Chains A and B, each alone.
Chain A
Amino acid sequence: MNKKEFMQKLKQLLPEQDKRDILLDYEEHFLSGLTDGKTEEEIVKELGSPEEVAKEFGYTGKSPVRTSVWAAIGLVTFDIFFGISILATLFSIWAGLWCVPIACFFAGIGLIIGSLFTGILTLFPWYILLTGGIASLAFGILAGVGMVYVTKAFYLGVKWFVMLHVKIFSGK
């Protein structure tokens, strides 16, 4: 890297208000170094990378505070218009889906118990109630297992969503 490249890169990394002052110091440094008999490349090598220099000044290109503030504002706006409703919808679907295995499970138990008490007034004979009950119970358990996986996926999604907020708001 030569002087021009170094100065240009540094210029990009520094904020407007301090740019001129700081660049002048480095201009002077280059001139002194050249008078000292060094080449531009040698001086650049000793100076370190423009990124390192900018970091020592406390700048990392774009102002980190401002970008994180904008990101936080963007995220809150997203939450208000979409995030919360999406989350609520997903939550309702999830809760609704859980009703299927729970309902089937208890319906199955009810049918099995009911099959023991068939009488003149029951519409179906006991064996239909019993097989129907077992089928319903089995399906309920199967759907319950399926829902455990759905719940896991749901949990990971929510965790990602929460972590995104933590990350943005803590400014990392």
Chain B
Amino acid sequence: MDIQFKKGVLELCVLSLLDGQDRYGYELASLLSEKVNISSGTVYPVLRRLKTDGFVDTYLEESSGGPARKYFKLTISGDELRLALRKEWLTLKNNISSIVKEGGDEK
């Protein structure tokens, strides 16, 4: 798969998971690798890029009986990016679906 495309999709997935709920790295990695076939190690580079570009913010919070966890939180521009990517994705998805449907489903 095109690397740029994969990156964009991963970003959208991360941003969507963060919508309305702050999450920590392990949680995001688990949720993503559950549904998308990626190595969970690649979630952190995505998070770092998003943080560098100001789309997410982080804060530390004590976990029950464990060490402090780094939580990720959408910023305002992060939410804007999420909406823009979401729109792009839905359009792309529809367009691709209509192309794929032109082929029959059985030989």
- Between A and B, 16 residue pairs with Cβ closer than 8 Å are A24-B70, A25-B48, A25-B70, A29-B25, A29-B40, A29-B44, A32-B66, A33-B26, A46-B29, A46-B33, A46-B39, A46-B40, A52-B42, A53-B39, A56-B44, A57-B45
Number of interface residues of A (CB under 8 A): 20
Do B45 and A56 touch (CB < 8 A)?
Answer: yes
Tell me the complex Cα distance, A104–B48, Å: 73
Do B25 and A56 touch (CB < 8 A)?
Answer: no
Chain B residue numbers with a CB within 8 Å of A21 are 48
Chain A residue numbers with a CB within 8 Å of B26 are 28-29, 32-33, 36
Number of interface residues of B (CB under 8 A): 20
In the complex, chain B residues 1-57 whose Cβ is within 8 Å of any chain A Cβ:
24-27, 29-30, 33, 39-42, 44-48
Report A84-98 CB contacts with B as 1/0, cut-off 8 Å.
Answer: 000000000000000
Do B70 and A48 touch (CB < 8 A)?
Answer: no
Chain A residue numbers with a CB within 8 Å of B29 are 29, 46
In the complex, the 9 A-B pairs of residues with the closest C-beta atoms, listed nearest first:
A48-B39, A32-B26, A47-B41, A56-B45, A53-B41, A48-B41, A57-B45, A46-B40, A56-B42
Do B41 and A52 touch (CB < 8 A)?
Answer: yes
A31 interface contact, C-beta 8 A? yes
Smallest Cβ-Cβ distance to A54: which chain B residue = B45
Nearest chain B CB to A23's CB is how many angstroms away?
A: 10
* Main SS class of interface, A: helix
Chain A residue numbers with a CB within 8 Å of B25 are 25, 28-29, 32
A26 interface contact, C-beta 8 A? yes
In the complex, chain A residues 20-56 whose Cβ is within 8 Å of any chain B Cβ:
21-22, 24-26, 28-29, 31-33, 35-36, 46-48, 52-53, 56
Tell me the complex Cα distance, A52–B42, Å: 8
Chain B residue numbers with a CB within 8 Å of A56 are 41-42, 44-46
Tell me the complex Cα distance, A24–B42, Å: 15
Tell me the complex Cα distance, A28–B42, Å: 15
Query: A22, A47, A57: which contacts B40 (Cβ < 8 A)?
Result: A47
B69 interface contact, C-beta 8 A? yes
Chain A residue numbers with a CB within 8 Å of B30 are 36
B104 interface contact, C-beta 8 A? no
Chain B residue numbers with a CB within 8 Å of A26 are 41, 44
Tell me the complex Cα distance, A32–B71, Å: 13
